[in-house]
Amino acid sequence: MTLPTYENSRKLPHIAGLILIVIAFVVTVLHLTRNNGYVVHLDQQVFVGPTGSNDGNKSTNRRCDLFSGKWVYDDVSYPLYKEKECSFMENGFACEKYGRQDLKYQNWRWQLHHDHCELPSMFNGTTLLEKIKGKKLIYVGDSLLRNQWRSMLCLIESSLSSNKSLKTAGNLAYLHANEYNASIGFYWSPMLVASSGDNVDTHESSRGITVRVESIEEHGRHWLDADILIFDAFAWWMGHKLTILWGSFGNPNATQKKLDKSLRPLEMALSTWSDWLEMNINRTRTKLFFMSLSPFHYTGETWEEKQNCYNQTEPILKEGYWGAATSRVVMRIVESTIRKLEKRGVKVEYLNITHLSDNRKDAHPSIYRKFPYMISAERLANPKSYSDCMHWCLPGLPDVWNQILYSYIINS
């Protein structure tokens, strides 16, 4: 329908004007919800997604907000696997192995608010592998996404044959399930675009990171044939001093500019990423996902003065909690990029796990992990000083992220 112009509408009676406003509002809502019922509420950070189902069957027409719920203690259904029984476990996430005694962090279930909505509590690895039979699924990002990838491997391991091993090819590590001809991989690209942190083994970043914000092709060619891509890009953009490089590494004629506390480089990098997707992705075949910010729980948190995740054994059960280190501004940059991409015909599902994760101050490794560096005696005497309050223990929170991802994949 064609709405009256402003010049004509201002001549209408007052009631008619109100009707026009209502119609415009309805049209806007219909526009926002035309693709799978997704509505973006920036203030609440909510995205509405498909209903989860325990059996992997197609859901009804009713929609569920998979990101609105509460944490419920459940020592019957959880954990979904045992740490010691997962051969894919990484020492940075193996908290029980490295001395953590309190294991309640493994037993919290994400319960959705709506009565007709339920996450697939019994993650069915066989169902997932059947769904991605003959396909390639790749997580692309930093160590937090590697955290989630390891979780996925642990979740599906019981559905695999005894012949299973990880393979590596440069920045790509992957598991190939021969009986399903399916691959589930992780590609190390912490900034998405090219950076000095791209070396898998030696990505020392204490002195800052140099980023080529206009270069992504070298990474992207490794994702080109993927059927499902899951991205993230938050932690390294928020925690490092940045130098922007125009040109190649080692080129004396390249232009550089140091930036401090600027988010403009992230916008530029996401623009490069968007352009690459628009030009290269098969829109009818490849499913795209973007994980929202995974919260940190370092100093300055509000549950206790100057406290971090060390010695925390209970989640925050207050709904609506927003951590001190959880940046709304950075999240909105990513969300804006995804909305612009959709207008260009490229659909990216934004999995907003930030709020549900912010409550889980109990779920970080803290001191219970293998660290990639030596810890001084002075720091050892003060456990809070070296606690890992960024990554997550497994089994644990990333399993819930994968349950949500599983729900999207199975119901697609």
Catalytic residue numbers read: 143, 388, 391
Q: Which two tokens stand for residue 136?
A: 């390639």
Q: Which residues contact 43 (CB under 8 A, 6 or more apart)?
A: none
Q: Find out whether 223 and 205 touch, Cβ atoms under 8 Å.
A: no
SS3 128: helix
Distance CA 216, CA 195 (A): 10
Contact 197, 219 (CB under 8 A): no
Angle at 82 between CA 318 and CA 163, to 5 degrees: 135
CA distance 53 to 380: 46
Is the distance from CB of 290 to CB of 274 less than 8 angstroms? no
Smallest CA-to-CA distance from 357 within 383, 331, 380 is with: 331
Sign of the four-CA dihedral 61, 348, 224, 139: negative
Residue 184's beta-bridge partner residues?
Answer: 137, 175
DSSP label at residue 194: E
Contact 245, 212 (CB under 8 A): yes
